[in-house]
Chain A
Amino acid sequence: MIRTVKDVTAVLDRRAGGAGRSPLSLLRVGVWLVVGLFVAGFVVHAPRAPGSPQYQAHIKVPNVRDVTLDHNDPRGFMHVDQDPRYFRIAWIGASTLQNIAKHKHYTFVPADFRAAVPEIGGKPVRVDMYFVSGGRIQDMYNTVLAAIHGKPNLIVVDDNPLYAFNTLALQSWPSLNEASAPYELARPGSWPLLASFATPEDIALGLADRRLPALRERWSLAKQINDKLDNISPLKQPTQPTATTKPSALQQIQAESEALDFWLTYRPIDNPHDPVAKRQLALLHESQIDGGSVTDRIVAQLLGALAESRIPSYFYFSDVDPQALSNPEVNNALAGIENHMRQVAERHRAPTLTVQWQSLARLVPPVPFNDIVHIADDGPIVAYLARTICAQLARLNPTTTCSPSAGGSQ
């Protein structure tokens, strides 16, 4: 009877020629495992990776899609094809890409840009929106690396000045580590970041994913299996469990989506009952702009990657509520961040890269805001971006035709 591993090895010795008995046969077992995974990639097919339907539903403009996958999906983003019929823009950003106006008018800056600039260089514009909701600076870097890999014609990065140098939250999408690990490995300057954020599992699977579809698709396959298991199980699971009592503090912590919520609750940097704008000012003050933090390395690597890619790239600091900016304290804090970004950007100059280190608040007419950084009308912003991005493309290649259409989103 087989009870222990020694019994199993005895069986292997008798019936399988002593599999794994010598280093060579261990190697053989490993090779067969890899071959098995490779073959499984052809036999087992995962359903197409789902996008984020809740965001895509708000995009009414053609040729614009949100390519970000589920928050836990280690593939990070949808496969982006390199269709030469289009002028392809990879537009990266977090919640500051959203334009949520009153009366539920909900759009995205890249989509409105596409409406304003439907053609570049005689080709229809296609925007792949890398919308990393709640993304922090390390997430932005991982996304930039993924976007570069898709070889777009233009990369636009929208960065929130609240979090660019903020050490309170460096990352909220750890699932992106795996997809970007191979690209980070190829950049020695990135290795300290890789060591800080990625795990051996991220690196190994990130490398193996490229060759082994069965591994790459495992998240979808697992979801497929889970759905089937849910169907088999006789246990009825009502979607809305009966609400009983107020959740305990522990349950509240458990329900938080990122660690930042915990730190802001239990190590408050301000009064938790203050209005959102005041709380975000406190966040602005948390930026570390003395050059001694991890954020400096991340921002430097991000700009370095864009510069080295030779892909035309436009990096900008998103808009800030002009009302908040009229407060000298906010203005000074923001100016400090902008100035530091300028210093970092100066070390990563490239003809293809434009770093708009000033917040759009300094450059566009005032627009209404929902809070200090979330806009409610992106018209002037889109107009400004259309103008400056077209100017950059024209500077890089004077024959490029790029002009905002009269009937854009203005």
Chain B
Amino acid sequence: MLQFDSFTFFANLFIAFIVVVPVYRLVPNVVFRRLFLGLVGVYLLWLIAPRLAVFYLAFWTLTWLLQRVVAVTAERRFGTLVFAVAVVMLLAPMVIWKLFTTGFVIHFNLWTDTAARALEGRWGEVDLSRDILLPLGLSFSTFRGIDLVIKTYLGAFVGLRPDEVFFYGFFPPVQLIGPVIQYTEIREAVKGGTRVAEDLREGSLLALSGLAKVFLVSYPLQNSQGVFTFYKANSVGVLWLELLLFAVYFFFNFAGYSDLAIGASKMLGFDIYRNFDWPYTKTNPQAFWNSWHMSLTHFFQRNVFVPFGGMRPHTQYRAIFFTIMAIALWHNISIPLVIFGLYHAAGLIGHRWLAERRPPRSAETWAQRLPKVAALFTFFAISVPLLELTTSQVVPFYSAMVGVK
């Protein structure tokens, strides 16, 4: 229970594409296309468990309502208050989940199953046989919902229609994992699309590159996850080796699934921004974070870094600190993640401070880059256990890494 194989989601998506892509391409009506792709998204969630589909139907209905209210009140005196309330309401489920995980998971399953039964009796019966779930995809949906509300408040959108929010909320390729897309990335492409063969070709190649990352690189390294369980039984050398392998696994797994999502989008004619740009080849923390889970980093840059004064010299360090802490804490609100945030904040701020005093060389040879790449990779790999360990495991694990058991 509480485990879901993301590959199953993509396998169902790509097999459904045998029907979905031709139908989508053959019917040029935009409203039909939005509703059709939205329904495909609902169906894919329903396959995991009807309760998950019901939860997201409620979540995106709420998002639609909130962004309409924000659109209407944005220019009024109390508009900011309404906007703040809307953001808090959308954030609430995710924050409660991160703070009170056990209670949230239990009640999430109980309540959404009850709702599924109330909505359609047989959905409820089928739902009881499906696995007990974590709220899969909730973080990504929260960020997408908030992004919509923020942009509405800033005037980028007037209030969107239900079919537009339904389409954005249930856009199939990014339901569970992948880039945190913005509505602008899919808004226009749904209207056109004549490069069918070219889109299919590029999409297939991206999907294949994702499969290669997942199965050829990440899958053989998945045993390295055991380093977080069996650290007491292994030597320092083995622990370091497995930790570095896990860092490789971690990237290729996530980047592979992102490629699958972007490739699937491309097959339908949507150009979704890349989510990773080979972060392990970068030579400094800033370049690393600008190429790691880029859609999320950009979300926090837009909504935390810039508002906190990241573009002004006297407030830039504060903005960096808040941005990296937000990036850390979305994983989980816990002590290890606070340490993770502080660690990378130190790296980023230290790099910025140094860069201001000693501008980087314009062009570096591989021989010059390689030690930096290795150092940065190791710097990041050391922090990765903080994403996996519980608070009580942190000290014993890192002690074992330096030979103290």
Residues of A within 8 A of B (CB): 3-6, 8-9, 12, 20-23, 26, 29, 136, 138, 167-172, 196-197, 199-201, 203-204, 225, 229-230, 233-238, 241-242, 248-250, 253-256, 259-260, 262-263, 266-267, 292-295
In the docked arrangement, what's the CA distance between A359 and B201, Å?
60
Given the known inter-chain contacts A3-B278, A199-B8, A200-B16, please indicate yes or no for A8 contacting B205, CB distance below 8 A. Answer: yes
User: Do B1 and A201 touch across chains, with their CB atoms under 8 A apart?
Assistant: no
Query: Which listed residue (A5, A21, A292) contacts B209, Cβ 8 A?
Result: A5
> In the complex, what's the smallest C-beta–C-beta distance from B248 to chain A, in angstroms?
14
CA of A121 to CA of B247 in the docked complex: distance in angstroms?
65
Query: Contacts A248-B102, A267-B110 known; A229 to B223 CB distance under 8 Å?
Result: yes
When A234-B238, A235-B230 are in contact, do A26 and B109 touch as well, CB less than 8 Å?
A: no
Q: A6-B202, A200-B15, A201-B12 are in contact. Are A171 and B109 (CB under 8 A)?
A: no
User: How far apart are the CA atoms of A267 and B101 in the complex, in Å?
Assistant: 19
- Would B201 and A9 count as touching, CB distance under 8 A? yes
Determine whether the beta carbon of A259 is less than 8 Å from that of B128: yes
CB distance from A296 to the nearest CB of B (A): 11
Partner of B128, one of A29, A242, A263: A263
B interface secondary structure, majority: helix
- State which size class the interface on B falls in: 35 or more
- Name the CB-closest residue of A to B232: A242
Which chain A positions have C-beta within 8 A of B126?
A: 170, 196-197, 294
Q: Chain B nearest CB: distance from A219 CB in Å?
A: 13
Query: Taking the nearest CB of chain B, how far is it from the CB of A235, in angstroms?
Result: 5
| A-side contacts of B128, CB under 8 Å | 167-170, 259-260, 263
Q: Is the CB of A229 within 8 A of B220?
A: yes
Residue on B nearest A260 in the bound complex, by CB: B128
Chain B residues lying within 8 Å of A263, measured Cβ to Cβ, are 128
A234 CA to B197 CA in the complex, in Å? 46
Q: In the complex, A344→B242 CA distance in Å?
A: 58
The CA-CA distance from A234 to B220 in the complex, in Å, is: 13
Q: How far is the CB of B250 from chain A (nearest CB, A)?
A: 16
Residues from chain A with Cβ under 8 Å of B226 in the complex: 233, 235, 237
Q: Cβ of B206 < 8 Å from any Cβ of A?
A: yes
Contact for B129 among A8, A230, A237, A259, CB less than 8 A: A259
Nearest chain-B residue to A255 (Cβ)?
B1
14 contacts between A and B (CB under 8 A): A3-B278, A5-B206, A8-B209, A23-B196, A26-B197, A26-B200, A138-B129, A197-B126, A233-B242, A234-B242, A236-B230, A259-B1, A259-B131, A262-B109
Known: A249-B102, A253-B105, A259-B1. A230 touches B230 (CB 8 A): no
Verify B106–A266 contact, CB threshold 8 A: yes
Give Cα A37–Cα B263 distance, bound, in whole angstroms: 22
Chain A: which residue is nearest B209 at the CB level? A5
Q: Is the CB of B209 within 8 A of A249?
A: no
6 pairs of A and B residues whose beta carbons are closest in the complex: A20-B201, A200-B15, A201-B11, A171-B129, A170-B129, A204-B15
Whether A23 contacts B230 in the complex (CB less than 8 A), given A8-B205, A253-B1, comes out as: no
Within the complex, what minimum Cβ distance (angstroms) separates B219 from chain A?
8
* CB < 8 Å neighbour of B105 from A237, A238, A250, A255: A250
Contact assessment for B230 and A238 in the assembled complex, using a CB-CB cutoff below 8 Å: yes
- Which chain A residues border B131 with CB–CB below 8 Å? 259
Encode contact with A along B166-210: 1 for CB under 8 Å, 0 otherwise. 000000000000000000000000000000111011101110010
> Quick one: which of A169, A250, A293 contacts B102, CB cutoff 8 A?
A250
User: Is B130 interfacial (CB-CB < 8 Å)?
Assistant: yes
Nearest B residue to A200, CB-CB: B15
Contact B234 A266 (CB under 8 A): no
Q: Are B129 and A199 in contact (CB under 8 A)?
A: no
Q: Which of A4, A229, A235, A263 has the most CB of B within 10 A?
A: A235
Which A residues are CB-close (under 8 A) to B99? none
Residues in chain B near residue A253, CB distance under 8 A: 1-2, 105-106, 132
A2 (CB) vs chain B CBs: closest residue:
B209
Closest residue of B by beta carbon distance from A24: B197
Q: Which residues of B contact A23 (CB under 8 A)?
A: 196-197, 200
A241 / chain B contacts, CB cutoff of 8 Å: 229-230
- B198, A235: Cβ atoms under 8 Å? no
Contacts of B238 in A (CB 8 A): 234-236
Given the interface pairs A235-B242, A241-B229, the reply to whether A136 lies near B129 with Cβ below 8 Å is: yes
Q: Does B85 contact A (CB under 8 A)?
A: no
Contact of A170 with B8 in the complex, beta carbons under 8 Å:
no
B12, B106, B205: which contacts A249 (Cβ < 8 A)? B106
